[in-house]
Structure 1
Amino acid sequence: MRRASSVLLFRTLAAARGGSAASIPVSNRFLQSTLYGTTAGSSPIRRRWFSSILATAAGTSLAVGGALIAASSISEGALAKEPPPPHTLPKDVVLYQYEACPFCNKVKAFLDYYDIPYKVVEVNPLSKKEIKWSEYQKVPIVMIDGEQLNDSSAIIDKLGERILSKKKTDSTSEDDEETKWRKWVDNHLVHVLSPNIYRNTSEALESFDYITSNGNFSFMEKISVKYAGAAAMYFVSKKLKKKYNITDERASLYEAAETWVDALNGREFLGGSKPNFADLAVFGVLRPIRYLRSGKDMVEHTRIGEWYTRMERVVGEPSRIKA
């Protein structure tokens, strides 16, 4: 079965190179924005690198940096939360997202933990028609009582200032630790995810099976994107390994998980008895992979499982408003 899947993937990629009628045109910026949706402006080297990869994939790749979001297991003994005062909560929050985007899931972890109700608009990553109105063409985008906020970390900072009156912008020694690890999430942790998610053809297909089932695609787009996207991302992951000097995908993931556990230094959370923004950031970006093969391996071979289970319990059920 695995061999058959591999053959199908490579045939799809070969067809894309030949200009197959089934291929779907995707702009060069799409791959870049979905992998690095909240980072600063890209360098000319990165733009040229992504352009070359997309040329290989004949514009059919779909790169969503993440996959399966499994439902959190909630127990009656869930850790208690302290919701913010009701008068600080925004009245209307709308999140424009890709379901499997790690940065979008970072924002959702924050919203879920603080019990902030939000609506979701799933963006079609091919047409992006849902955000045509915005000059900023990446996700996540959040509209808060009519005000547009972009970039996951900026969104969380702005919401934190609004709902947590004691959350100061001036750093203390504790805040410095929190800031350090939030930056580590964006600058390191996210970069080891894609090489693991798309490590081989079967894992790439596993990821894209979820992406196409939960994303905003037409029937024909689902078929083309699943196989062409998985094939393209298989090769992109190899480039990412080289770019970030990753020699062993799983080893890099395990090392990152152990690094985070060491940072906890015996505490339940980095924030002590309750999660801080860094805890929520790590949990958010890992949530898309937790129940994929890579996430299962991570929990089995590192010490992160107990912390992750505590986070599942304390974040609790999604505060998303279902349509």
Structure 2
Amino acid sequence: MRRVNGLATLHRAISVSGGATATQHRLVQVEMMSTSSTNSPKISDRVAISGPSVARGVAGTMFFSVVAASLSQEVHAKEPLKSVNLAPKEVVLYQYEACPFCNKVKAFLDYNKIPYQVVEVNPISKKEIKWSDYKKVPILTVDGEQMVDSSDIIDKLFNKLHPGNETTDSDEERKWRGWVDNHLVHVLSPNIYRTSAEALESFDYITSHGNFSFTERLVAKYAGAAAMYFVSKKLKKKYNITDERKALYDAAETWVDALNGRQYLGGSKPNLADLAVFGVLRPIRYLKSGRDMVEHTRIGEWYTRMEGAVGESSRIKV
């Protein structure tokens, strides 16, 4: 009954926010967790969810032998950039603050101590990226060169920073990077929008960190939360998720199993798979779903190590 009352409150909020219905078809492009229907990591950065009725207006702005494996992975661990001569001079990230794919890119930039500017994109007007034919985030410009799709961005940046080492990724590393894009991200939205209260908590975070006008913030918080509550139920069905929390806990345990006693999948230092998992989980870490995940699984120690390894943000305040 409390859930029903909560939803009724959300619907009343939509009704009284003048223009909410008209705006709603575009505003929820701020959905925290992108949930592309394709299995291709290159397309999985899409931040739009299509579907009938409300879903059309919703978009996404939501673990081998210890010693042997550690030794074999040591050479593949990605180390912070040592030669400043290889560092790009100007890096600009066009993003939604809560987008998991944008946070993947930021985890790589932060770990490698690459200074970058951030342009927060308004998910309704997208005026900040009108100059680009690519209308999804993240978009990264590196010394004027446009890069798109989080996994491609990271590959290209790594190759720029480590010329001649393009083939050092191990099969294990590639496997788990793909797992992040094709599985892990898909269990996030059903969790952060699991209940009306969690949906409101999520959109409070989104609107507090996003690029919204005052009116857009109000509409996005209540209309978006209500819409995504219902869309999350469709996502459960689409990805064959019966129990949202169990799916999240299973994913966290699967990742810890893949570590197999190592500090990181990369051995003594994080590799690109470590950074990918850390990046997409970072936006939810202190939401209820993230707190529950750390409390009920073994992922907390690894996550804390990653926080230390990635360190402070390299974002340039402008």
Alignment correspondent of 2:61: 64
The equivalent position to 1:21 in structure 2, one of 19, 22, 30, is 19
2:146 is paired with a residue of what secondary structure?
strand
**How far off its partner does 1:170 sit?**
6.2
Instruction: Give the direction of change, closer, same or farther, for the CA distance of 1:5–1:257 in structure 2 (3 Å limit).
Output: same
* Residue 119 of structure 2: aligned partner: 121
1:177 maps to which residue? 172
Report deviation, 1:26.
3.2
Q: What corresponds to 1:138 in structure 2?
A: 136
Contact 1:63 1:229 in 2 (8 A): no
- Label 1:136 to 1:39 Cα distance change in 2 as closer, same or farther (>3 A): farther
How far off is 1:214 after superposition? Answer: 1.1
Of the three residues 235, 242, 246, the one matched with 1:240 is 235
Query: Residues 13-92 of structure 1: matches in 2 within 5 Å?
Result: 13=14, 15=15, 21-23=19-21, 24-27=23-26, 30=29, 35-36=34-35, 39-41=41-43, 50-52=50-52, 55-56=53-54, 59=57, 61=58, 63-65=60-62, 82-92=80-90
Cα distance in 1 for residues equivalent to 2:41 and 2:164: 27
Distance 1:210 1:35 in 2: 16
Give the distance between the partners of 2:317 and 2:150, measured in 1 at CA: 22
Amino acid across the alignment from 1:159: L
1:1-323 maps to which residues of 2 (within 5 A)?
Answer: 5-13=6-14, 15=15, 21-23=19-21, 24-27=23-26, 30=29, 35-36=34-35, 39-41=41-43, 50-52=50-52, 55-56=53-54, 59=57, 61=58, 63-65=60-62, 82-165=80-163, 167-169=165-167, 175-323=170-318
Q: Which amino acid aligns with 2:34?
A: L
C-alpha contact (below 8 Å) 2:32/2:206 kept by paired residues? no
Give the superposed CA RMSD.
2.6
Contact 2:86–2:161, Cα closer than 8 Å, also in 1 = yes
Alignment TM-score, normalising by the size of structure 2: 0.85
> What CA distance in whole angstroms lies between the structure 1 residues aligned with 2:251 and 2:56?
33
Percent identity of equivalent pairs: 65
TM-score by length of 1: 0.84
| Structure 2 residue ranges without an equivalent (≥5) | 63-78
Per the TM alignment, residue 264 of structure 1 is displaced from its structure 2 partner at its CA by: 0.3
Which amino acid in structure 2 is aligned with residue 284 of structure 1?
Answer: G
Contact 1:119 1:322 in 2 (8 A): yes
Residues 21 and 51 of structure 1: CA distance in aligned 2, closer, same or farther (over 3 Å): same
Cα distance between partner residues in 2 of 1:235 and 1:192: 15
Q: 1:57 to 1:180 in 2, by over 3 A?
A: closer
Segments of structure 1 that go 5 or more residues without pairing to the other structure are 66-80
The aligned amino acid for 2:196 is T
The count of aligned residue pairs is 294
Q: 1:57 to 1:264 in 2, by over 3 A?
A: closer
Checking the alignment, whether the CA contact within 8 Å between 1:105 and 1:287 is kept in structure 2 is: yes
Comparing 313-322 and 28-37, the one that deviates more: 28-37
SS of 2:179's equivalent in the other structure is helix
